[in-house]
Structure 1
Amino acid sequence: MRLRSMPFAVAGLAIAACSPAKKPTAAPTPANRPAANAAPNQPPAPGQPTPGQPAPGQPPAGLPNIPGLAGALGGAAEPNPRPYATVITPRARSKQGVFAVHQVGSRLFFEIPAAQQGKDFLVTTVLAGTSDAINGSLYGPERVIRFERRDNRILVREATYLNVASDSTQQSRQAMNLISFFPIVATLNVEAYGKDSAAVVEVTRMFTGGVPEFTARGRRATVDANRSFIDKFSAFPRNVNVTAVQTYTAAPGGGIPGLPIPGLGGATGNATTESYTFSLVRLPDEPMMPRLSDRRVGYFVTPKRDFGSNEQRVVSRDYIKRWRLECSDQKVGALCVPKKPITYYVDPATPSYLKPFIRAGIEEWQEAFEAAGFAKGIVAADAPGDNPEFSGEDASVTMIRWLPSPTANAQGPSLVDPRTGEILDADVQMYHNILDLQREWYFSQVGHLDKRAQRFPFPDTLMGRLVQFVVAHEVGHTLGFRHNFKGSSMYPLDSIRSRSWVTKMGHSPSIMDYARFNYVAQPEDNLPLETLVPKVGPYDKFATMWGYAPIAAARTPEAELPKLDEWARMQDSIPWYRFSDDASAGQADPGEQTEAVGDADAVRASTLGFKNLARIMKLVEPASTADKTKDFSLLKETYDGVIGQWALEANHVTKIIGGVDRQEKRVSQSGPVWTPVPRARQKTAMKFLNDEVFTTPTYLTDLSILRKLESDGNIGRVAGAQARVLSSLVSNARLQRLIELEATAGSTASVYSLGEMLTDLRRGLWKEIYAGRPVDAYRRRLQTTYLEAMASKIKPAAPSAQDIALAQFFGPIVNTRDFRPLLKDEMRTLDRELAAAIGRTGDRATRAHLQDARDQIEAMLDTGK
């Protein structure tokens, strides 16, 4: 009989026909002996029945005494604690840690002592096995739970720490009680009591689908308990791990229409079986003193809403995420030795030749922690080979994990105490195909400078150095650091071509930037090859000092603020200490770029980069066809990578148009936060786009390569790269910003207006019609793309459900009403010029194209001609 499948109306089913079990006749034991003087209306002592409840060992009224019934029903039946030995039988597999864990057959029990009841446990979910290649994060939902005893039940509550009250008066505490009532995610009947009133509860269903909050994929998937089970478990002094096999299907209506369910493997909507390790980590008894965040320095944060502030409003108070580093009594010179250094283990599954480079990527941060006052504040270690319980899935083990995945990426998530922002654990996830991505980037950016990169595959020493760079970047995330997209624009362009500068400072001040390899460097610069690769830089050392250096005199987060502000104001005189975060990337500031080097002057940087790409094009075929037994797939991938690099560098220039430079400030600093880019700089950028980007880059077209790859398609390849740049240039957000900058300018003479920008763009894109020259196929495609972009703004389609959903993540949809009149006027002007040009051309393809362009303009303007 499968009692688990019958959670309701049990008494009326077949159970009623079973013979009741006999009453036990054994004398009471200390574990179930009634208390002599139990006070009325109070919770009973461990093992004592509540009034009207059967004595220990007896079934509730009307139900037979079937072992495990309460656990199978998930709390539906009345609690019925039994003698300990009848629940945790001699065949139980038991482990003792922060609390005891027992497995009896397929059932799992927690034995939770009184000392651990009411305490906070952070629950994490980590992928432990899948039938598919890993294509996303290893991590599922996280939550904080408490085990609270109420009579003979354990309530599993989910605790949240978003709301705080900095004012600790009695009135504030009373008000906070209204929003500190935590939900119950599960109710577990006490099966027995162990030593010191430890409550023994069955938790099987928490990990096999009976509790939606413990589903690894969240509420967007349904777990089939009949195809799920407990695989293994471990117990440690600070945490308990349970590995469960879960079989699930997508829940109806889950996800955004048309988009797959974000998950950790398997196909959308199909039954999938995967293994997950749940870690229940006891939060520290003494919370670390938090450090308040500052937008001028780039840390991930734990958000709070302060209802006790004296500012007469609800105040956001964010704590930075950081490890707890405390000084011991030992010193190394002026540096203190930490009581417990941050230790990262190297995954035993890592390819052997890469392990030394991974260790080097970890310990590259040691110099940054010296800036914070710590000697060897971070160290690398090999996984112990003699400990079978040691695992990267353990929440007490920080590891650089090497994962079999075709995803060309790496990630650096961390586990954080939500009360304080203290990082408790982290795992850098290195997906195997990151090797392919590093090869492509390094070759297409600096392959002309490094002979080792001019033949595939790269030698192990070169690939190892590239992996070291990725590890150092991802370790930075697990130390609490956000991307710093400001960094690459804070060095003067000429400096990153200087041998002495890059040797000391690197080509970007932050390894947390997306400044990959120094594609600005020219062969005549003679830079050491080591300086082409990013390293932990001056900003990283400054940010580590700002977040980790102890402030001895401060006893509260508020008391640290004057010193933190003093440190942050160093950015006024040292620009490479400045920061911008992910949220501003792709917005107004042309110095906040991804995949950029030298974007202090993106026009000159891209000019130099294009010269290098012309050199690299000559290396594409020999590098990717060295192995004569292979097909041309690597040649295609390499060629496409060079085209993609060209589009990236070209796109960096578009941000200058309508750009506004930003320096994040606080009230203690003078001057504006936002400063519009001068008109002359914008005009120069537009000229570069017309001359170097929208003019067909013939040096990217190599017939020897093309004839090995395809019968056709290069027009689409090149025009597609140009279209990326054009789309960015005429994005709704940029056009709207140009309108606003003109409206708020003190002098219109200093403004690069939208009207002027559109005129310059038209004259550049359609320059053939003014010179009376034929329009070639590449330019015809680009001009058609321009007209399609204009039509989408003059007559925009209604946003789809997916557009609306994505706007929640990428910002609101910009209405075109403010700039639509200018676009229509621009199309009328172009139409007149096209009409005049048609009569001057003798090229049939050009004439047909120009007439088609007029037809498109007529359709978008609804002129009715």
Structure 2
Amino acid sequence: MSSRCLTSLALALAASLLHAQRPTIQAPPANGGTSAPRPVAAPDAAEPKPYDKVITAEAKSQDGLIKVHQLKGKLYFEIPKARLDRELLLVVSANRTPANIDHAGRVLDSDTVRWVLKEHRVLLQQVSHSVVADPSKPIAKAVEASTSATILMSFPVEAFARDGSPVIEASRLFTTEIPEYSARQLLGAQLFDPSRSFVDKVKAFPANLNIEALQTYSVPFSPAGAAALPAPSPFGTPTLRPGTSGTVAMFYSFVELPEKPMLPRVSDERLGFFSVRNTDYGRPEHEAARRTYITRWRLEKKDPAAAVSEPVKPITFYIDRATPAQWVPFVKKGVEAWQPAFEGAGFKGAIVAKLAPTKEEDPDFDAGDARYSVIRWVPSPVANAYGPHISDPRTGEILEADIVIYHNILQLQRDWYFTQVAPLDKRAQTLPLPDDLMGELLAYVVTHEVGHSLGFPHNFKASSQYPFEKIRDKAWVRQMGHVSTLMDYSRFNYVAQPEDGFDPADLIPKLGPYDKFAVKWGYTPIPAAKTADDEKATLNEWLKVQETEPWLRFSTAGGAGVDPGEQTEAVGDADAVRATTLGTKNLQRIMGFLPKAALKPGEDFKDFAHLYEAIWGQWRRELGHVAVLVGGFDTENKHAGQDGGRFTPVPRARQAEAVKYLNGAVFKTPTWLMDPALLAKLEPDAGQVRLLAAQRGVLTALLDRARLTRLEEQEALLGDKAYTTAQLLTDLRGGVFTELQAPGAKVAPARRNLQRAYLELLGNLLNQAPAPSLAMGGLGMSQLPVNTSDDTRGVVRAELKALQTLVARPGGDKSLRAHLDDLKDQIARILDPKFAAPSASTGVTITTRRVSETCWPGLEDLQD
């Protein structure tokens, strides 16, 4: 018997023994999926026992939303009759996690649920509000009859209280794995072990109930020969290793939904809000009407007659006491930066921040309680922050928001500030940055994340809405900021130059005119309106100001990756070529003082290497803003009745200018990044590998099939006024093969690498079938397949033949001849019908060392 068979037999015996010892472990489905299995069925409902036989004098009981009893390791719910069939919000989060696995407070799911009594059984049902109808209309009965609430779990009634309230033994809800609320993916686990899972803490309150349960998961050893890698986490965080277990403190918070629903506000795509959606069959439209309501907090004036009034209940964020003391004032500043915007909507002191109470001050306070909105500080090397919120699915009312700040967001902010504006702020020219500066950078992050928790998504269009010249106008920027909203990824003003004389405080984004306009539009009360439809005329009237003030506009649906003015990490992308030219000047200045900033006597080169990589990353991002001009469409979010179209091709001259810039900036070797004295302090391949990776990235972006399809579309629309694929390839030939078009050619090693990579990408275009993905597009276009019979093949083949002629030139030294012969062979193989390009890669694997940007925002270097 082979050693492999022996190993397999040993594993099989071990698995059998494990199964025999722990028969209750819940394994993944037989199909190999990672979703959790449905818990075992509940016991049959027997005749209920007398109340005092179930809830004895030994029980520890708590009154509240649901009366709870703990007895001999079991948890009983006594559900008041008045609470039956009433909708509750259930929020499930990971309150504590194993070391280095994600973070405390991760919300895993939130649902609307209700308890329903069916004879001697109580059902926990998941309620959907995606299909609705006015209860007063006949069709409401059809809607109710055609939809079924999912049963999450069923419980036999153990007893009835004197008032008829059912008593159930609810432990299974928290000690078995329910797919909707599982931590399986969070941990990358495969097995759930109920024998190591139990209810740990219970707190009942008048309007909510909190349960904490310890749940244990594990990952078995991989089969023989399989790579011992953990399963990926959907959150982009580490997971359990094979052969290990992890215990999560799962937090379940049941909260009453508002008895009186808030008046919803209808969404308008010309302004950005997160939203809730439903299909309303009670509407008068001649179709199933899709209704979309913005998510927002319920703000009501104490004095409805006052132009500006304090709210009945302000939006309150509690600052986690784990937050380092020096940062607490800046976190508070970041939250309350939104106050002026709410004053424009008629509310004074609408949003406040305060330290979370201590146990002595409030023993019942819990950061996982869905009644409280908490800003958590997470000890994690992840460089990120995020600000989700939980809303009432009926109306969009935001009920709770928890903002998470990972510790290493400080490092990410330092890197961005250093690589973008260090030449304009002497404090940033040596490391570490002073605490007062780091605090301001942290406050900016908090204000951005609070924006999400107020209902605002990203608005990437904002970075192109100011006239380009204003980005360097210090008077304009002092008043308006260099970007009109904090909800863009427009970090620090890298377009500004030292001679512009900026106050460093004005280099950091601040609350802008778009933010104030969005708060006013979404939160200003309209007292005369009794229904959401009553508000629409007023809301539409408010939006007319966007026609004359473009910085109040929002991103266009279908514009991402298409509109050169809707890019992430951009400043001044109204003119990306000029912005990147100026940004590169600042990067060149930074290279000059990099050694002084990062090299400390007696210390290693870690910080130096990290910041050198950050400079490369910033340069690549800025190049991406130029590349997207090719095949681009300028967009403007409009509704019927507004003049002009929503998508306009970028003029031919701007596209040609972009390619000309890239030819000179990246395809011509950027010696300013390749200082031999600096490279000698890094690894042996520090320069050439990074350069080729950057060049390949730009070429891949320019030769993307979706981009070439847009160029074909523009040619069909504009004729000889369009910038075409043929012109793009001709211009790239001039930049990539410059030396071969002049006598006495000499081709440096970096340029030889570039030329081979370019031919490889052309070969992929000619010989690889387009992937069967769906094209991105505007309204009604998302289901169009990628064009698989476009003009690309013919144009690429013609270009390869032109290059074949170019590389056939005679003469040259031994090195040049070897390179030209190699290029000729490469072209011949591409043009040969039998040639088959790799199906899943672009050829050579490039290893690069990059700054971690896995969040805030977690972007690739080149956006398309």
Following TM superposition, by how much is the alpha carbon of 1:289 offset from its aligned partner in structure 2, in angstroms? 1.2
* 3-state DSSP of counterpart to 2:62: strand
Structure 1 residues 6-405: aligned runs within 5 Å: 75-135=42-102, 138-165=106-133, 170-209=137-176, 211-217=178-184, 222-249=191-218, 260-262=232-234, 266-267=239-240, 271-329=245-303, 334-385=307-358, 386-405=361-380
Deviation per residue, 1:562-595 (Å, 9 max, x gap):
11111122111110001116x6464211100000
CA distance in 2, matches of 1:96, 1:699: 71
Deviation per residue, 1:719-739 (Å, 9 max, x gap):
212222221111111111000
CA distance in 2, matches of 1:671, 1:380: 45
CA distance in 1, matches of 2:203, 2:611: 46
Of residues 721, 729, 732 in structure 2, which corresponds to 1:750? 721
Following TM superposition, by how much is the alpha carbon of 1:402 offset from its aligned partner in structure 2, in angstroms? 0.3
One-letter amino acid of the structure 2 residue matched with residue 858 of structure 1? A
One-letter amino acid of the structure 1 residue matched with residue 481 of structure 2? G
Residues 852 and 804 from structure 1, CA distance in 2 versus in 1: closer, same or farther, beyond 3 angstroms? farther
Residues 702 and 104 from structure 1, CA distance in 2 versus in 1: closer, same or farther, beyond 3 angstroms? farther
Of residues 657, 667, 687 in structure 2, which corresponds to 1:694? 667
Residues 366 and 521 from structure 1, CA distance in 2 versus in 1: closer, same or farther, beyond 3 angstroms? same
Q: Which residue in 1 is equivalent to 2:585? A: 611
Residues 566 and 632 from structure 1, CA distance in 2 versus in 1: closer, same or farther, beyond 3 angstroms? same
CA distance in 2, matches of 1:541, 1:726: 40
Following TM superposition, by how much is the alpha carbon of 1:93 offset from its aligned partner in structure 2, in angstroms? 3.0
CA distance in 2, matches of 1:752, 1:550: 49
* 3-state DSSP of counterpart to 1:309: coil
Q: Which residue in 2 is equivalent to 1:47? A: none
CA distance in 1, matches of 2:254, 2:265: 25
CA distance in 2, matches of 1:89, 1:673: 70
Calculate the aligned-residue CA RMSD, in Å. Answer: 2.8
Following TM superposition, by how much is the alpha carbon of 1:361 offset from its aligned partner in structure 2, in angstroms? 0.3
Residues 111 and 820 from structure 1, CA distance in 2 versus in 1: closer, same or farther, beyond 3 angstroms? same
Q: Which residue in 1 is equivalent to 2:596? A: 622
One-letter amino acid of the structure 2 residue matched with residue 661 of structure 1? D
Matched residues, percent identical?
Answer: 44
Residues 84 and 492 from structure 1, CA distance in 2 versus in 1: closer, same or farther, beyond 3 angstroms? same
Q: Which residue in 2 is equivalent to 1:738? A: 711
* 3-state DSSP of counterpart to 2:362: coil
Following TM superposition, by how much is the alpha carbon of 1:816 offset from its aligned partner in structure 2, in angstroms? 4.9
Deviation per residue, 1:182-202 (Å, 9 max, x gap):
121211112222353222211
Following TM superposition, by how much is the alpha carbon of 1:602 offset from its aligned partner in structure 2, in angstroms? 0.5
Residues 403 and 574 from structure 1, CA distance in 2 versus in 1: closer, same or farther, beyond 3 angstroms? same
Q: Which residue in 2 is equivalent to 1:515? A: 490
Q: Which has the higher contact order (CA 8 A, sep 6+)?
A: 2
CA distance in 2, matches of 1:124, 1:334: 36
Aligned 8 A contact 1:215 1:223 in 2: no
State the TM-score, normalizing by the size of structure 1: 0.86
Q: Which residue in 2 is equivalent to 1:542? A: 517
Residues 457 and 88 from structure 1, CA distance in 2 versus in 1: closer, same or farther, beyond 3 angstroms? farther
One-letter amino acid of the structure 2 residue matched with residue 117 of structure 1? L
Aligned 8 A contact 1:247 1:272 in 2: yes
Aligned 8 A contact 1:485 1:585 in 2: no
Following TM superposition, by how much is the alpha carbon of 1:794 offset from its aligned partner in structure 2, in angstroms? 1.1
* 3-state DSSP of counterpart to 1:709: coil
Deviation per residue, 1:27-58 (Å, 9 max, x gap):
xxxxxxxxxxxxxxxxxxxxxxxxxxxxxxxx
One-letter amino acid of the structure 1 residue matched with residue 487 of structure 2? M
Which region of structure 1 is more displaced relative to structure 2, 96-105 or 396-405? 96-105
Radius of gyration: which is bigger?
1
CA distance in 2, matches of 1:764, 1:536: 42
Residues 616 and 6 from structure 1, CA distance in 2 versus in 1: closer, same or farther, beyond 3 angstroms? closer
CA distance in 2, matches of 1:630, 1:308: 70
1:530 equivalenced with 2:497 (yes/no):
no
Q: Which residue in 2 is equivalent to 1:654? A: 627
One-letter amino acid of the structure 2 residue matched with residue 658 of structure 1? G
Aligned 8 A contact 1:141 1:217 in 2: no
Aligned 8 A contact 2:775 2:785 in 1: no
1:779 equivalenced with 2:754 (yes/no):
no
Residues 548 and 323 from structure 1, CA distance in 2 versus in 1: closer, same or farther, beyond 3 angstroms? same
One-letter amino acid of the structure 1 residue matched with residue 287 of structure 2? R
Of residues 414, 428, 445 in structure 1, which corresponds to 2:389? 414
Following TM superposition, by how much is the alpha carbon of 1:221 offset from its aligned partner in structure 2, in angstroms? 5.2
Aligned 8 A contact 1:154 1:187 in 2: yes
* 3-state DSSP of counterpart to 2:808: helix
Deviation per residue, 1:542-565 (Å, 9 max, x gap):
111111111111111111111111
Aligned 8 A contact 1:793 1:816 in 2: no
One-letter amino acid of the structure 2 residue matched with residue 670 of structure 1? D
Aligned 8 A contact 1:585 1:594 in 2: no
Aligned 8 A contact 1:516 1:595 in 2: yes
CA distance in 2, matches of 1:606, 1:6: 60
Following TM superposition, by how much is the alpha carbon of 1:169 offset from its aligned partner in structure 2, in angstroms? 5.5
Deviation per residue, 1:463-495 (Å, 9 max, x gap):
111100000000000001000000010011211
Give the total of aligned pairs: 783
Q: Which residue in 2 is equivalent to 1:788? A: 760
CA distance in 2, matches of 1:190, 1:559: 47
Q: Which residue in 1 is equivalent to 2:739? A: 768
- For structure 2, the residue ranges without an aligned partner over 5 or more in a row are 1-19, 26-38, 224-228, 836-864
CA distance in 2, matches of 1:156, 1:267: 31
Aligned 8 A contact 1:290 1:421 in 2: yes
CA distance in 1, matches of 2:770, 2:420: 40
CA distance in 2, matches of 1:284, 1:174: 24
Q: Which residue in 2 is equivalent to 1:48? A: none
Residues 195 and 853 from structure 1, CA distance in 2 versus in 1: closer, same or farther, beyond 3 angstroms? farther
Q: Which residue in 1 is equivalent to 2:657? A: 684
State the TM-score, normalizing by the size of structure 2: 0.86
Aligned 8 A contact 2:714 2:722 in 1: yes
Residues 499 and 90 from structure 1, CA distance in 2 versus in 1: closer, same or farther, beyond 3 angstroms? same
Following TM superposition, by how much is the alpha carbon of 1:599 offset from its aligned partner in structure 2, in angstroms? 0.4
One-letter amino acid of the structure 2 residue matched with residue 555 of structure 1? K
Aligned 8 A contact 1:342 1:378 in 2: yes
Deviation per residue, 1:254-307 (Å, 9 max, x gap):
xxx997142675326654321111111221111111111111111111121233
One-letter amino acid of the structure 1 residue matched with residue 741 of structure 2? Y
* 3-state DSSP of counterpart to 2:49: coil
